[in-house]
Structure 1
Amino acid sequence: MRNTLGGLRPWLHDRPLITDALLAVLLAAAAVPLARDAALFGGPAWPGGPGPAGVGLIVAGCLLTALRRHRPFLVLFLVTLAEVTLSALSMGGSPLWPATLVMVSTVAARRGLALSLCALAVSLTGRLASAAARGDLGDWTAQLLVAVLTVAFWLVGRSLRLRRAYLSELRERTERTARAREADTRAARAEERSRIARELHDVVAHHVSVMTVQAAAARRVLASNPDGAREALSAIEETGRTAMAEMRNIVGVLRTDPASPAERGPQPGVQEIPALVEQMCEAGLRTELRVERADGGAREAREAREAVTAGGPNPGGAFPPLPAGVDLAAYRLVQEALTNSMRHAGAGAHAWVTVRHGPGELTVHVEDDGQGPRAARAEAGRASGGRAAAERIGHGLVGIRERVALYGGVLRIGPRTGGGFEVRARFPIKD
């Protein structure tokens, strides 16, 4: 039984005309018998009952309520007119005022405040006109009762309209919130994809460049120095493993299967810069690392290769703790700058990396004394005979600008005084 009612309600809700027609039939079926005792409606009983004309007006007035959703004010006016006509012809009470109450409530629930007030005035005016036609206008008790009931039905209709408007506003607000949430989700996904793209570019560009240089060196000394070639191949293998491990950690965040969660390894930071400098030295780019603190004193100023191979103090120990985002951005900046120096500075170039932790800021400075990317771009363009090779240079520098701007830093990229190229960034550090 409950399932039947649960299925009937949506069916009737989608077909309001059927519900209104049933209401109109019930009103008509109740109005005709009650017309014999019209005193219930504020007037004397009809002697002998209503005639055929009276029954026709009663039935017509009640059946008009079937159209209450489409033309409520017009239906109210016609029902009120039928009630006044019955009172004027029969001089008895009219059983149509319950239908009038239904129409007053309908107009108040489905039309604006001004039209609903007009409907209330029409109903009260029609009731007074019917009482005047019957000659019982002086019965103020009955008139007051009808007026109170009419105002009560009007208030019920207004409450239904306000509730319907409130629920509609809640639905619209929920839809707007859902759309805003979807937009935020899309923006977050786009930002995450952009971050992953920057990370992948930095990892692939650096490690592939190092592996290319080491492979070229191994090829040149393969016949004359097999041990050196073997060391270069071992370095290529290690570099490839490192690159695969970093890419696995980065791309792992794209996995959506909860059964196989992504492996999240620690992100590199400034503590790994000495190892990065050592790797560049092994690849053939002479690189020096200098770490400075707020007191202005240089903690280390030697080639990273010498520091590690000789068992000297590790420059990485001089790095203070940094925010995770700034820590990663500084490492990627050094990585991209050294990769560009190795690719574009030319043979015999020398690079310097300076990391200074000052009061409230971190300064990272990478410079070389090579020919610079502009000369390398021109040379690459002449070698390839087209613009495509030249246009592919510099995407990493765009990523550096985005990283520095993300953390409110200041970046300078350009030629170095005295020749070469430099990348200098200053990151603000908050307590």
Structure 2
Amino acid sequence: MLAVTLTVASTVFILITDAEMIAEWSGVALVPMREPNAGSLLLAGVMTMSVMLRRRWPFVLLLAVAVPQFALDMLHFNAGLASLAAAILLYTVAAYRGLALSVVGAVYTLLGYLLTVALANERFGWADHVVVVALVTLCWVLGRSVRLRRAYLDELVDRADRLERAREADTRAARAEERSRIARELHDVVAHHVSVMTVQAAAARKMLYKDLQVAEDALLAIEQMGRTAMAEMRNIVGVLRTDGPAERGPQPGMHDLPSLVEQMREAGLRTQLWLEGEQLDLPPGIDLAAYRLVQEALTNSLRHAGPTARAWVTVRQDPGELTVHVEDDGRGPDQRQPGTVPERSHGAGHGTSHGMGQGMGQGRTGHGPGRGKGHGLVGIKERVALYGGVLRIGPRQGGGFEVRAQFPLKDRP
């Protein structure tokens, strides 16, 4: 459309104007022009119609249109609006090609103008030359500005795409972390409650024909434990069933330790609890991690320590540290492996504690050979490492087993 419009306007301009009219408009004395003929109109039309292909070959067309322009000027034919076509091509080169080609195009245009003026004997003043140079510079500057702005917008779009991909990656990572957290919570809840229910069921089976009251109490404890487990699992799994923010119930914490100890006593593990230091509110994450650590340690003692074992839970709060110590004196059915040395694991930031699995699997005195392969121990390791804590799991002096964790309380005064 631009090429056709420019060609029609240029042809009309050539047919209705002559040298005298142009000299009167411009104030420049021009060499008398010849009457237009089919050849001159064809050359002028080729120049203006070249604009149609300016997006594909702008630099080549800019070089090419100078030939008919020079021929028309040398033969003193009216070129019409061909100069406007050259200006459009120069703008296109600056807007769609690199800096080097655009500079070459601008210099080529100026040199072609100077050559035409020198050979055509046209009497132009300095003001006329300045106007031509200013128009060429303006076309070049406009084209470069458009190119730079287009590149800036493309960079913004690309940056937005990168940010979107990064956001999606962060979302996937957050979902994976949430699934891992839910898996740990479900394991802790199921492992603890099912272990207690198994012990209670075994007691009920043994006492079923000896003491019905004891068997009934054990069955009642199993029922209560099952309801508690279902309630906790519903709260955890509820996170997966909501598209928006989940309405989570209150998570267990260190304030629930007396109830946990009482459950273990009812299950047959003689457990004692000591609270030392100033019992202040803990950060939610550390509060839950410490509770799950005690729960997992007591569950393992209930499973492996033996029917006559005792367990002790010591929780001490200092101004900058929380220490949780769970130990038992059980020996279990197996004998201690010689040469076993407990290991320590240090968690810092989001790191892992590599000594955790080995200390739990080999250092346990008679608590079963597969102790280090459970997911609960991995969960303890991850929880302690997540909050920069120090974890020790291994045999206890004098027999038995112990789990000791130290959590830094950075936000405490």
1:37 Cα shift? 3.7
1:165 aligns with 2:151: yes
Q: Which residue of 2 aligns with 1:348?
A: 308
Q: 1:312-323, aligned counterparts within 5 Å?
A: 319-323=279-283
Structure-2 separation of matches of 1:120 and 1:24: 21
Judged with a 3 Å threshold, the aligned counterparts in structure 2 of structure 1 residues 65 and 373 are, in CA distance, closer, same or farther, namely: farther
Q: Which residue of 1 aligns with 2:8?
A: 29
1:68 aligns with 2:48: no
Structure-1 separation of matches of 2:99 and 2:42: 33
Structure-1 separation of matches of 2:166 and 2:263: 47
Name the amino acid aligned to 1:63: M
Aligned equivalent of 2:393, options 413, 423, 428: 413
Name the amino acid aligned to 1:226: L
Q: Which residue of 1 aligns with 2:266?
A: 282
Q: 1:302-313, aligned counterparts within 5 Å?
A: none
Structure-2 separation of matches of 1:408 and 1:332: 16
**What do the CA deviations read for 1:283-323 (whole angstroms, capped 9, x no partner)?**
011111111116xxxxxxxxxxxxxxxxxxxxxxxx32111
1:109 aligns with 2:85: no
Name the amino acid aligned to 2:271: T
1:347 Cα shift? 2.0
**What do the CA deviations read for 1:210-265 (whole angstroms, capped 9, x no partner)?**
0000001000000110000000011001101111111111111112256xx85422
Structure-1 separation of matches of 2:302 and 2:207: 20
1:293 aligns with 2:273: no
Aligned equivalent of 1:129, options 99, 115, 126: 115
Aligned equivalent of 2:291, options 331, 334, 356: 331
Structure-2 separation of matches of 1:267 and 1:148: 75
1:45 Cα shift? 7.9
Structure-2 separation of matches of 1:103 and 1:119: 9
1:55 Cα shift? 1.1
1:346 Cα shift? 1.7
Q: Which residue of 2 aligns with 1:227?
A: 213
CA contact (8 A) 1:249 1:262 kept: no
CA contact (8 A) 2:59 2:105 kept: yes
Q: Which residue of 2 aligns with 1:425?
A: 405
Aligned equivalent of 1:404, options 384, 388, 400: 384
1:92 Cα shift? 5.5
Q: Which residue of 1 aligns with 2:256?
A: 272
CA contact (8 A) 1:44 1:93 kept: no
Name the amino acid aligned to 2:390: V
1:49 Cα shift? 3.0
Match of 2:307, SS?
A: coil
Structure-2 separation of matches of 1:37 and 1:371: 118
CA contact (8 A) 1:93 1:134 kept: no
Name the amino acid aligned to 1:66: M
CA contact (8 A) 1:408 1:428 kept: yes
Aligned equivalent of 1:151, options 119, 124, 137: 137
Q: 1:172-191, aligned counterparts within 5 Å?
A: 172-191=158-177
Range that drifts further, 392-401 or 195-204: 392-401
CA contact (8 A) 1:84 1:130 kept: yes
Match of 2:323, SS?
A: strand
* TM-score normalised by length of structure 2: 0.85
Q: Which residue of 2 aligns with 1:362?
A: 322
Match of 1:78, SS?
A: helix
Match of 1:267, SS?
A: coil
Judged with a 3 Å threshold, the aligned counterparts in structure 2 of structure 1 residues 284 and 376 are, in CA distance, closer, same or farther, namely: farther
CA contact (8 A) 2:315 2:323 kept: yes
Match of 2:40, SS?
A: helix
Structure-2 separation of matches of 1:374 and 1:66: 92
Name the amino acid aligned to 1:409: G
Structure-1 separation of matches of 2:322 and 2:331: 28
Q: Sequence identity, in percent?
A: 58
Name the amino acid aligned to 2:404: R
Structure-2 separation of matches of 1:187 and 1:246: 25
Structure 2 residues not aligned, in runs of 5+: 338-368
**What do the CA deviations read for 1:86-117 (whole angstroms, capped 9, x no partner)?**
11123656631100100110011011222111
1:372 Cα shift? 6.1
Match of 1:189, SS?
A: helix
Q: Which residue of 2 aligns with 1:52?
A: 38
Structure-1 separation of matches of 2:283 and 2:333: 31
Name the amino acid aligned to 1:280: M
Judged with a 3 Å threshold, the aligned counterparts in structure 2 of structure 1 residues 55 and 126 are, in CA distance, closer, same or farther, namely: same
**What do the CA deviations read for 1:53-103 (whole angstroms, capped 9, x no partner)?**
211111111112211111111100111222111111236566311001001
Q: Which residue of 1 aligns with 2:352?
A: none
**What do the CA deviations read for 1:391-411 (whole angstroms, capped 9, x no partner)?**
884221110010011111100
